[in-house]
Amino acid sequence: MSRENELTQSTSAMGQGREVCDTQAPIEVVTANWDVRVLVSAEKNQEMGNISLDVKKESAHQQALIDLQAAAACIRQGQTVAFPTETVYGLGADARSTAAVEAVFVAKGRPSDNPLIVHIAHRDQLDALVTEVNGAAEALMAAFWPGPLTLVLPVRPGAVSPRVTAGLDTVAVRMPDHPVALQLIAAAACPVAAPSANRSGRPSPTLAAHVREDLAGRIGGIVDGGPTGVGVESTVVQVGDDGTVTILRPGGITAEQLSAVAARVATDPALLAEGADGVGSPAPRSPGMKYTHYAPAGALCVVEGPPAAVAAWISAALAEAAQRGERTAVLAFAEHAEQYRADAVFSLGDASELEEAARRLYAALRSCDEQGATYIVAEACSREGLGAAVMNRLLKAAGNQLIQVGDPPLS
């Protein structure tokens, strides 16, 4: 198959499996903005043993605490508030309130069969949400909470709105590792349901500016805590009665890290089915298991194989696309980025340091839109460690349009 035919097939397929969004238009609202970045700086200074603040910084710190209380009050009143976590920005609402949760769906245009993750600030909040936590799940929480790990557990009847669980008998729960998120949730005094704070199908936000771009006028407020750290969403797992940990969505905690704690780690078969577009599949047990996600406006494909073969294919494809009048972009690793000729080239950092790729990925996808890219090609990476999450997000963004060149593909 020629590269042009592959592109045509890829572009056509991108329309399949996209999220069927809620068509109800949100009422235009004035979105409040609270800049609390000083709280993140104060946390870092405290970790370094520097706890003194000058008068100006102390005043800013106190104002940030007041602003955070205002944001928490909005959540208690049933409004939607975007806030930073260590992974991406989330759009939070009182998980117990169906009206508040429905406002999240409407603001995002999110399908109602996608469950939401409930965020808590303290371990004792979990008991009010779930009926059982087995020993293996306790061990995971002890090792990775607070942090980018979500556990799917049996939901306590009536604990959260049925819109949170999408009609399932389980609920996804995590405790974020971010000082602003933890203080906000604690001040709200309720479990907070929070998907990523972007329009559904768009790249997830790693800056408050990304949230404003997608949701200003559609949500109650935005808490600006600066850039997020991990850059991709949490790992979602479900623990079986036998202690087996099944990965439903790869993320900030790797399979290797889980294996250091759990006796057995498995991957959900849905993640192993290449090219699955979500159409006609069962209701997802976890966010991110269905539909095209994280997608830029332009057609995107991912190219996997030996580095030389990948570089040759991408270079030729970019040249052909330019001749067709496409505006081109490429997402590449630093080792190869300079060799590509495109309207925009975005480096994901060194191929051996995928933590940086995770941090840069969503911003790069958004930048493709800012550059007006209509044809986008991305280099694949190793699927080991955090690479599993990076590849998962890339393939979701590309509607699972994977082009393999050479033999064998990357491990």
Burial class from Cβ neighbours inside 10 Å (0-12, 13-18, 19+) for residue 243 reads middle
pLDDT band at 294; cut points 50, 70, 90 = confident
pLDDT tens, residue by residue, 189-200: 999 999 999 998
So what's the pLDDT on residue 7?
Answer: 43
Query: With 90 as the cut, is the pLDDT of residue 58 above it?
Result: no
pTM of full prediction above 0.85 = yes
The mean of the pLDDT values for the chain is: 88
| CA 328 – CA 321 distance, rounded (Å) | 7
Mean pLDDT over 132-141 rounds to 97
Q: What is the mean pLDDT of residues 86-90?
A: 97
* pLDDT band, very low/low/confident/very high, at 46 (cuts 50, 70, 90): low
Tell me what pLDDT residue 22 has: 46
Q: Compute the distance between CA of residue 244 and CA of residue 242 in angstroms, rounded to an integer.
A: 6
Pick from 10-19, 25-34, 186-195, 401-410: least confident:
10-19
| Over residues 274-278, mean pLDDT | 45
pLDDT of residue 281: 47
Q: What is the pLDDT of residues 332-341, one digit of tens each?
A: 999 999 999 9
Q: Which amino acid is at 228?
A: T
